[in-house]
Each structure stands twice: as C-alpha cells, then as structure tokens.
Amino acid sequence: MGLLSGVADTDRRVIVLALARMVGAAGNSFLIVVLPLYIASDLIDIESLLGTAVGVGAASVTLTEPLLIGVVLSLFGFLNSFSQPLTGRLSDRMGVRRPFVLAGILLLGTASGLYMIADAYWQLIALRAAQGFGAALIIPATVALVNEYAASDADRGGNFGVYNTFRLIGFGFGPVLAGVVVERGPYDLSAIGLPVLDGFDAAFAAACAGAYLSFALVFLLVRDAAKSSEASDDLSIRVRGEGRLLDPVFALGLATVAMGICIALYATLQTQVNARLDQPPVWFGLQFAAVTIANVLFQVPVGQASDRIGRRPFLLAGFVLLAPTTLLQGIVTDPLVMTLVRLAQGVAVACVFAPSLALAGDLAREGESGTTLSVLTMGFGFGVAVGPLASGWLVGFGFVVPFAVGAALAVVALVTVVTQVEETLGAGEDAAAAATAD
C-alpha cells in the first residue's frame, strides 16, 4: 500500500496528532542548526571557558568550542531519554496523555523564545535542559496515544508508520529551513511595529511559533483515547523475560539504542566527511537528510505491512541492513555512493522503527502504554545523544573507526532480536481475521 493511500486510511486522530508533532518537530529541529552557529558567534561569551580542563588526572577533558557545542546538543537527548520512563509511568498512573503533551509543548516553545535573550553559555545549558524535559513529557504520552487509538493490533503498525512519517518530515526539513532563515537575516519588521531581528532571533522566534501552533492543534483537535485507564500498581520496567534472558520490550529498547547511535554518528563529522569525499557542504546536507527521506517514503508501507505479515521479519531485515550500511559510511569515497548508502541506512531504520513500536504496543497491558513504549523512545533518544559524542571521540583513531563500532553494535542488536524477541500473535491473527471477515 502506498504512502498517500496509507495516510488516507489512517484514523483522523492519528493524523492530527502526527501533524501537530510535525510542526513541533520542525520548530525544535531548527535548533540543531542554529545553536552551533549561535555558540560559535560573538553573541555568546565562551572565551572564558575555552582551554579549561574539566575532570581529574587522566580523566580530565579540555574544553573546546566543538565540545561545548556537543554538550549543548547532547544534553537535550540525555535528559529527554532518561526522563521518559518517569513521565511515561506518571501518565499511565494518572490515566491521561493530553495534559502531558500540552505541557511539554509549552515548555519547548517558551524555551525556544527565551534563546533570544540568552547571552551566556550557562543560560543555553539551562534552556536546553528545560527543552529536554519538555520532550520527555511529550514523547511517551504521544506514542501511547497513537498506540491506544489503534482499533486492533492490525492497525497499530500503520498508525505508527503515519505518525513517524509526519514527525520525520518536520524534523528532517526543519534544519534546512533554519539555515535559510539564519542566512537571510536580519529582518526589518519596523513596518509592522516590531524591531529588527537578526537571523538567529528570527530562527528562535520561528521555533517558538511552531511549538505554539502545535500546542493549538493538540488543544483543539486531540483528546485522550476513550480506553485510557489507570494503570496497575506494577509499572516497573521489566528486564528479565519469561523463559529467556531479556524481556522482549527491553531487548528492543537495547537494540534501539544501537540504531540511534548508528544513524547519529554522521552528524558531527561534516568537516571530515567533506574533506575525505572532496565535496561541497551541499552534498553533506543531502547525505544527512537521506536517512530522513528514506524514512518518510517507507515508514507507512512498512508499518502497514507489519500489520499483515508480522513485526519480526521487518525487525530482522532492518538490523541485517543496518550493519553494512553503517560500516560503508566509513569506507566509501564518492559523494553519490555515500548518499545511496545513507538512503539504504534510512530504509533499515524504517524497517525497525514502526514495527518495534507496534510490537511493544502489542505487548503493553491496558493502561501501561506510556511505560512500555517509553523503553523504546528512551533507547532511541539515548542512542541519538551518544552517537555524536562517540563519533567525535572515535574519529581520532581513524575515520572508519566510529562506523566500524556502529556496525558492530548493529550486529549485537541483530543477535539480541533473533534470540530475545518473538513474534506477537495479535497482529497476524487480527489481520487474518479481518481478511476472513471480508
């Protein structure tokens, strides 16, 4: 089933929620491009921090501009991922999702606006930390809603495919728009009674406006699922499985950490990649976006196919493809080939993302979607946070090293899925029953 027809067949509530997340993700992803430029500009005073040694003895690290930028970018991911089990569990306990989504959007949007008056590095740290917690409020509650909107297991993969597609459209193309906004500044708004905005302030204002638009969409059009109910007393994350070493959802969470690391390794290596491939920066932008483009194209078809065929075949195919496509990024020397490899890695991610969320949703007990699905969203957020820091360190041992380590993690993830994750019966049985009824 194609992308457009798949979206047309999806529950309207899922589409509205996905559109809201697309707008919010576009605004938030502005900051991936804007904050590094902002820190490197004369508008933020970091001179007193540069060259300072942090730590003790051999464990000390000298602060550099790239490291300070990396801390700001990664802080969001770390706080976001580590807070998600707590916020997911709390939303299960309270039996509501919408208030968490709205509060998180307000926190994200307000912090984006406050960047306009920040002029010290510690202020950026505080605002980025607030945004990390805001995202932790949004993500588990949102995926729990998508899960609970599914009429049956046979709809769940398609729901997550549509949700991830729109979210990735916003996240993937937000940085492109941000670069244009910053480059074309300043903006003279005196004709409408507003002050002149430089490119940075315009980008921060756009991110803030995107978040508030997302808030309006959720407030007006999204409601908690009718079957949301208070969770059981036991909301702990299960680690050990029944008859196997690991609980299948926890195993998927570990595998998702590896996936997040693999796709984030590329982010901090723009200078090295452009020099190695002898390419202009526009090629890197295309290569970076290729993973998102492939996800946009394949999330819905893969999600809906997993409803018919099952989740596990796509999970296995995704991790089988993830290992070589990650390793090849450290080997190829042609810009076009690198773009094709990144596209293939995006296909691998698409094969894992929606089916893994759907499988976790199949296994979640009623009222526990937030806690169960937060294991996966936390894993992905943690992997995306670790990836840039890991590649920035490992590339010092050789360009291929970060990608070789990522490929090895993908193989470990594949073994984990093969040995610890079984197919859920619900998706296949529901699909078969629906086909028989037709």
Query: How confident is the model over 370-411, as pLDDT tens digits?
Result: 788 888 988 988 898 888 788 878 888 899 999 999 999 999
The predicted model gives 141-150 an average pLDDT of 86
Read off the pLDDT band of 4 (50, 70, 90): low
Of the spans 11-20, 102-111, 153-162, which averages the highest pLDDT?
A: 102-111
Distance, in Å, from the CA atom of 234 to the CA atom of 229, rounded to the nearest integer, reads: 14
pLDDT score for 146: 87
pLDDT-wise least confident of 204-208, 328-332, 348-352, 400-404? 204-208
Q: Does residue 30 have a pLDDT over 60?
A: yes
Of the spans 8-22, 98-112, 190-204, 378-392, which averages the highest pLDDT?
A: 98-112
pLDDT-wise least confident of 39-43, 78-82, 317-321? 39-43
Q: Does residue 194 have a pLDDT over 80?
A: no
The predicted model gives 143-155 an average pLDDT of 79
The predicted model gives 278-297 an average pLDDT of 85
pLDDT-wise least confident of 55-59, 152-156, 299-303, 345-349? 55-59
pLDDT score for 35: 84
Q: What own/partner pairs with CB < 8 Å and gap ≥ 24 does 391-397 have? A: 391/264, 391/265, 391/266, 391/267, 391/268, 391/269, 392/66, 392/67, 392/70, 392/268, 392/269, 395/269, 395/272
Distance, in Å, from the CA atom of 318 to the CA atom of 308, rounded to the nearest integer, reads: 17
Read off the pLDDT band of 354 (50, 70, 90): confident
Q: Are strands 53-54 and 61-62 parallel, antiparallel or unpaired?
A: antiparallel
pLDDT score for 435: 38
In DSSP terms, 53 is beta-bridged to 62
**437 versus 77: which is more confidently predicted?**
77
Distance, in Å, from the CA atom of 66 to the CA atom of 392, rounded to the nearest integer, reads: 9
Read off the pLDDT band of 251 (50, 70, 90): very high
pLDDT-wise least confident of 14-28, 231-245, 354-368? 231-245
Q: What percent of the chain has pLDDT over 90?
A: 28
- The encoded tokens of residue 332 equal 């190829």
Note whether 156 and 362 are within 8 A (CB): yes
Name the average pLDDT for the chain.
Answer: 83
**243 versus 338: which is more confidently predicted?**
338
pLDDT score for 1: 46
The predicted model gives 349-366 an average pLDDT of 87
pLDDT-wise least confident of 225-239, 333-347, 372-386? 225-239
pLDDT score for 403: 96
Q: Where are the domains of the chain?
A: 3-226+238-437
pLDDT score for 432: 41
Distance, in Å, from the CA atom of 400 to the CA atom of 394, rounded to the nearest integer, reads: 9
Of the spans 151-155, 203-207, 246-250, 318-322, which averages the highest pLDDT?
A: 318-322
pLDDT score for 34: 83
Distance, in Å, from the CA atom of 282 to the CA atom of 349, rounded to the nearest integer, reads: 23
Note whether 131 and 54 are within 8 A (CB): no
Radius of gyration of the chain (CA): 21
Read off the pLDDT band of 320 (50, 70, 90): very high
Q: What percent of the chain has pLDDT over 70?
A: 89
Four-way CATH pick for 3-226+238-437: 1.10.3720.10, 3.30.413.10, 1.20.1250.20, 3.60.21.10: 1.20.1250.20
The predicted model gives 210-237 an average pLDDT of 74
The predicted model gives 265-292 an average pLDDT of 84
Read off the pLDDT band of 314 (50, 70, 90): very high
